[in-house]
Amino acid sequence: MESVTPYILSFSFTILVACIMCFLVSALFVYLNIRRINLAMRHPYLDKYRWEQLPATVKLTITLDYFLRLSFPRSKWWILGQANRLLAHVEPTEVSMRLRWPIVGFWGGVFLGIIAMLVVWTVLLIMG
């Protein structure tokens, strides 16, 4: 096991850094294109409030709903199902790739980065 742990550590750290870079690039593109993304996805919360009026947590929740609808369009389970019910009017295949990749890259980088960070810390605890 000791001969494998340095390779696991370096690989998981590399994945973690790649996820951070993916997150940052995607966050910039989401920030620059959020008006077009909101027009394409038409989240029900935006019928009642303007994007600028919402707190950051609600904005992130809306983008998470977009991600879940685009990534898991047929799921009816838990949060995935709630996002699919809220955005049932959106057909994921009809959303342009120009608007889809920043959302998927943003949240994909976050979730994969969390997993990579857990692996890095686990390996560091095992080595120490």
How do residues 113-122 score in pLDDT, each as one tens digit? 999 999 999 9
pTM equals: 0.87
Tell me the per-residue pLDDT of 24-39, one tens digit each, with 9 for 90 and over.
999 999 999 999 999 9
Tell me the per-residue pLDDT of 66-100, one tens digit each, with 9 for 90 and over.
999 999 888 888 888 899 899 889 888 888 899 99
Handedness of CA 69, 75, 78, 81 (dihedral sign): positive
Locus of tokens 């996805």: 41
